[in-house]
Amino acid sequence: MFRLASPRILNPLRLGAGLRFNSSGSLFNEVSSAPATSQPVESESAEEITSPEQDAKLQAYLHPSPFLAVESLISPLKRELYNMNVKKNGFFINNQTMKLDGAEYKLSLSRQEIEALEPSVYLRSYRIKSSVKKTNIVLRALKNMPLKKAITQLHFLQKKVARPLAEMLERGVDDAKKMGYNPNDLYVAESWVHTDGQWEKRPEFKGRGRSGVILHRYVSVRFLLKSKQTLNRLKYEEEQKLLKRPVWNNITKTKLIGNSGQYKW
């Protein structure tokens, strides 16, 4: 004959003792209880991505929309005056009178503003396995060189860093076409290199039981491509600088007979 166990034996720790049951029969209070009616869950009908080309967010990150300085950095009135000035001279000249809608305007910009508004393409490299000293030798050879000619020189240059630099400039040709610039008018205006962090140190095993530590260096390169508009402006400024120089002559502006130092009265 079996004997029923008492509640004290079934629950020796008296778990749940003193808890008050609400109307729904749950151990939780009314605030934390789930709603009686189930809310419908919105089903996201996401398309299956099978290739990187189908990922819109990835393509927007890899290929951002071009940023035109003239369209973004100045007001509409200044933009129209700037474009009129460039169309008239081939480049921007300060303090020239422009007529627009029956009114006359003069636009004056600083050197930094003029350089920022001129057509340019900014290129940034990935992590390149090289050193600053070796990369600078190649970058100095590309100074003020036309874009297409610089790519050709890098194709035949016997340097390990020449290949990633050529790929960078080829990417600059594609970016120039997207921005509406003519790649044949671009040249390498500025280029600089700096160290890319997280250099790796690894053991270097040598002969006769010797060993050392080898440092793997990485760099990052930047290119700034400018157009013929910048070259024409620099040439014009150099000509104006020469015209403003005083004419040199052997005759000084001093008196032929200097002051004697004696009183004349």
For the chain, domains (ranges, CATH) are 65-118 (no CATH), 120-226 (3.90.470.10)
Nearest to 99 by CA among 77, 81, 82, 87: 81
What is the helix (H) or strand (E) element at residue 222, kind and residue range? strand 219-226
pTM beyond cutoff 0.75? no
Tens digit of each residue's pLDDT (9 = 90 or more) over 127-186: 999 999 999 999 999 999 999 999 999 999 999 999 999 999 999 999 999 999 999 999
CB 200 within 8 A of CB 163: no
Alpha carbon 202 to chain centroid distance? Answer: 32
Tens digit of each residue's pLDDT (9 = 90 or more) over 156-173: 999 999 999 999 999 999
Q: How high is the pLDDT of residue 24?
A: 47
Residue 228 dihedral angles phi and psi, to the nearest 5°: -65, -20
**Sheet-wide strand order for 187-195:** 120-124, 219-226, 187-195
Task: Count each helix (H run) and each strand (E run) in the chain, helices first.
Answer: 9, 7
Res 34 pLDDT > 70: no
Res 94 pLDDT > 80: yes
β-strands 211-216, 200-205 pairing: antiparallel
